Amino acid sequence: MSTPRGEFTSRFGFLMAASGSAVGLGNIWGFPTNAASNGGAAFLFTYLILVFVLAYPALMAELIIGRHAKANAVTALQGLSRGTISRGMGTFVGFAGIITVSLILSFYTIVSGWMVAFLIDPLARIANLDSLADWLTTDTILRNALFVMLFMGLTIYVVSAGVKDGIEKWASRLMPSLVVILLLLILYVITLPGASDGMRAFLIPDFKQLIDPGLIINALGQAFFSLSLGAGTMLIYGSYVSKKENLPALGGMVALLDVGVAVMAGMLILPAMYVAQANGVAIYDESGGLIAGPGLILSVLPALFNSMGSAGLLVALAFFLLMTIASLTSSISMLEVPVAYAVENHSVGRRKAALIIGGIVAIICLTIVANFDDLFDLVVTVTTEYSQPLGGLFFCIFAGWIWNRNSLLQEIKQGFPEVEQSLFWKIWPFYVKFICPVAIAAVYIQLLS
């Protein structure tokens, strides 16, 4: 029995869902710290170029393949194939995407769980429950395990409600709130002493660092993670877009929103770090670099909020609410990938699929929580540095080499009838065919050597 497939009901709904997927911990945490440690605006500059010349074309490959097939990645890639070899490759790449995104979801859920714990902390303090507040902010296996389950529960809740009543509805509520909270926080933080030093560290370019090959690898990794590429997420969201929409324009807006929020987050996090420094909090580690990892979000910023007195409680609340919203709109897009596959190809009900797959990922999370030092960094590195770029490479190969060019053109023409005269059609096919695969492969070889 086949139920009708879900579809986003409006352009706004898709934009909120897709930018909700893109905007996440990668923007608010990853991007600002990456920028600050890699030459400030020099990184921003490299990043912008990479987003528009490499990540946007790869994003379009996923969106177009998805909308054409109106199906999950496995079925979509199989459908583009012309022979047994490419069909086998499609099956493999589709499944690899499902496994990659599930593993990304497993570490993402752990970090998101921390955000929820730190969101409840100021509430506990307001209620004078200081021992609860201390428990919430102390790194224990029990706390981490409980918040993994809580956050996964939220993710399952939204995904089980479906594309329109779950993903679109929640993204349309949460994303505008995220932008408002982010703006308010920026406006507050930049008035504090020390903030302008942070703004300088973020915006003044140190072009000497541009020749560092590490910078380009970091920027490309950041761009792929931030736009949720290479794992079938954007493909499945593309599959829910109506044939009436102009896909290249929609994809461009998603990329702009993603970059916009990353730049705004830089204007919050860097000034906040230097305000913390002005308040006596250490913001450099022993090797002289800016503290960037969990130490930044879980210790530097909370120390800053504590030093602000009672206003700090409100700021902490707003900040961790921002992080939780950013995480949730991303985690639902990850869980949707395996769920859509199970629903479409194995006729499992959506609710049941979300519960079972979410449950399995939660078990993986708990395994990582219990063996954190051995597993966490390993899972992050393997998925984000290796599988994701490789996935992106294959999506480009499918769009550029395997898919029949005329059928590809017909797909984009729906919603964009004049595409053949557009700049997009002059540049993009060449990009997905040659530039993206070569550039991703080059970065990959760098990484391996």
Binding mask 248-287 for ligand TRP (x = CB under 6 A): ----------------------------------------
Q: Which stretch binds ligand TRP (CB under 6 A): 63-71, 197-205, 329-337, 407-415?
A: 329-337
26 binds ligand TRP (CB under 6 A): yes
For ligand TRP (CB under 6 A), the number of binding residues is 17
The answer to whether 151 contacts ligand TRP (rule: CB under 6 A) is no
- Site residues for ligand TRP, 70-129, by CB under 6 A, read 101, 104
Q: Is 22 in the site for ligand TRP (CB under 6 A)?
A: yes
Alpha carbons within 13 A on the beta-carbon side of 280: 3
Name which of 223, 221, 289 is nearest 447 in CA terms: 221
User: How far apart are CB 101 and ligand TRP at their closest, in Å?
Assistant: 5
| Residue number, 261 or 412, with CB nearest to ligand TRP | 261
For residue 140, give the DSSP letter: -
| Piece of 50-58, 130-138, 225-233, 341-349 that binds ligand TRP (CB under 6 A) | 225-233
Q: Does 155 bind ligand TRP (CB under 6 A)?
A: no
Residue 78 three-state SS? helix
* Beta-ladder partners of 284: 290
Encoded tokens for 265: 């987050």
Burial of 38 (0-12, 13-18, 19+ CB in 10 A): buried
- Residues 233-252 binding ligand TRP (CB under 6 A) are 233
Q: How far is CA 411 from the centre of its chain?
A: 26
Structure tokens at 210: 């541009």
| C-alpha–C-alpha distance, residues 235 and 231, integer Å | 8
* Closer CB to ligand TRP, 21 or 86, in the complex: 21
Stretch that binds ligand TRP, among 24-32, 38-46, 130-138, 194-202 (CB under 6 A): 24-32
Other Cβ atoms less than 10 A from the Cβ of 417: the count is 10
Rounded CA-CA distance 354/77 in Å is 23
Stretch that binds ligand TRP, among 20-28, 57-65, 203-211, 352-360 (CB under 6 A): 20-28
- The three-class DSSP label of residue 276 is helix
> Least separation, in Å, of the C-beta of 79 and ligand TRP?
22
Neighbours of 232 (CB within 10 A): 35
Q: How far is the CB of 206 from ligand TRP (least distance, A)?
A: 24
- Contact with ligand TRP (CB under 6 A): which of 6, 14, 16, 24? 24
231 near ligand TRP, rule: CB under 6 A: yes
Distance of alpha carbon 180 from alpha carbon 170, whole angstroms: 16
CA-wise closest residue to 412 among 67, 76, 77: 67
Choice between 231 and 304, CB closer to ligand TRP: 231
Closest CA to 28 of 255, 339, 242, 323: 323
Give residues in contact with ligand TRP (CB under 6 A): 21-22, 24-27, 101, 104, 225-226, 228, 231, 233, 330, 333-334, 388
